[in-house]
Structure 1
Amino acid sequence: MIARCFRFIFCLFYVMFSFSALAESQRVSAEVVGMCAFSRPNDVILDFGGLTPGQGDRSVMAEVSFSCSKGTRYKVELDNGLHFNKGQSRSRKMANTKGGDFLPYLLQSSLNSGTGHGEAILIPLKLSASVRGLDYLGIKTGSYSDLVVLKISP
């Protein structure tokens, strides 16, 4: 009986020792990367329509929405467009598609920077553009356009 009891204690000790020898801790980790994305990645069009000289200043607005990961700091950037005036006036310009003339315009964004609240919460961004009546009083008739890239970066 003592021999059986001794064998049982030895087996129990062996099993306990075996389990403790096999135990090992593993670290699990991940990094969540902040990102921003437009809700509808289509182009935003700011169209002044027909400008008749003498009508005065005109303004148009458009809105686009985006989301950013929760806690992600974002920055809104508008580039200078294709026909930026690098001189004293430093302004964006639309070019006549037939060439020759340019129409200066002002473009503004309702946001410059902020913090995201998660992918499910859209952040509205309003864009407004304006032209001065004096700027299209003496230019060639035709279609004028420019292309400005809007970027949201985390």
Structure 2
Amino acid sequence: MSALEIVVYPNDILEKECSKVTVFNLRLSKLLTQMYETMVEADGVGLAAPQIGICEQIAIVDIGDDHGRIDLINPSILEMQGEQIGPEGCLSFPGLFGEVKRADYIKVRAQNKRGKIYTLEAEGFLARAIQHEIDHLHGVLFTAKVTRYYENDEIEG
């Protein structure tokens, strides 16, 4: 499969509330694989369906830890605790990075590619990545939460 084209800001789809997924089939499974390949090729740690032009509640996250690829379909955050402040970027905002405040711990309920409901607890960077992707599914961009933008030399060093 080939990588998909990533939608960049200011495309309207990035700021729309996405529809819930109701059909769990081979198309969805293939889409998740394509999204993953696209994310890896773009050197990202997460990708949401609106970023490839699909207004559905589908996201993937893989920060390179033991969790591997996490498929998040119709996700919702059940619990949030603590606070972390750190750098974020977004594949839909190439070259833009800023400091964002997020919960340090989250508990999420979502569905997998077969529609099975599961819960996941995450903290630190994984929690940050999941919150970023879930925001995308509700039309919330990280730029709305940035407290300070970084200059290029601040993130490369």
TM-score category, normalised to shorter length: under 0.3
Q: Which has the larger radius of gyration?
A: 1
TM-score norm. by structure 2 comes to 0.23
TM-score norm. by structure 1 comes to 0.23
Which of the pair is proportionally richer in helix? 2
